[in-house]
Amino acid sequence: MPAIAELGHVGIFVNDLEISRRFYTEMLGLTVTDEDDLIGVVFLSSRPDFEHHEVALVRGRTAGTEAKVVQQISFRCDTLEDVLSFYERLVAHEVPINMTITHGNAIGVYFADPDGNNCELYWHTHIAARQPFLQMLDFTRPPDELVREVRRRVAESGDTGRHDRDAVRPTHSR
């Protein structure tokens, strides 16, 4: 049977192509690999030597920010420190933070892009955890404490997984 290796890219319609372009390049550090002003498309990649684009921003969104157009756009980071640094950067720039969480197998921050799309920056913990597992984390704590806390919570949940509906609150939002 054929298998999918990994997600290739996500295309999203945006209200203002230039505002979204700046957000994804200046805030998240993605690289513009191609763009066409006439058509209204910008291609972005976190690893342009390997993947031409992981995100395509396309002019022409017709739904407001309250409409659910994309479930989420997730970006994996190599270190927890990267995720925490992005979190600080997002907070400093007053980007709406949806939640700071662990899925047991990952630690991440969820936030909104300029069009209200739900985005995630996450780091794999390499801790096996039954899903769904969602617990709020305090991103003001040091990385080693966060990992210890995740290990403890996963061990406590056993084989049941754990979804704390109250976890869907940010630890910091402006």
Q: Which residue ranges does the chain devote to CATH 3.10.180.10?
A: 1-61
Q: At residue 86, does pLDDT exceed 50? A: yes
CATH of domain 1-61: 3.10.180.10
How far is it, in rounded angstroms, from Cα 130 to Cα 104? 8
How far is it, in rounded angstroms, from Cα 60 to Cα 102? 34
pTM here? 0.79
Q: Which of 137, 138, 135 is nearest to 157 (CA)?
A: 135
Q: What's the chain's length in residues?
A: 174
**Residue 152 neighbours by CB under 8 Å, 6+ apart:** none
Looking at 9-142, list the stretches that DSSP marks H as alpha helix, in order from N- to C-terminal side: 17-22, 80-92
Per the listing, tokens 């976190």 go with: 46
CATH of domain 71-174: 3.30.720.110
Q: At residue 26, does pLDDT exceed 90? A: yes
Query: In the numeric block, which tokens belong to residue 103?
Result: 């899925």
Kindly report, residue by residue over 91-150, the tens digit of the pLDDT.
Answer: 999 999 999 999 999 999 999 999 888 899 999 999 988 888 889 999 999 999 999 999
Return the pLDDT at 65.
Answer: 64
Q: Which residue ranges does the chain devote to CATH 3.30.720.110?
A: 71-174
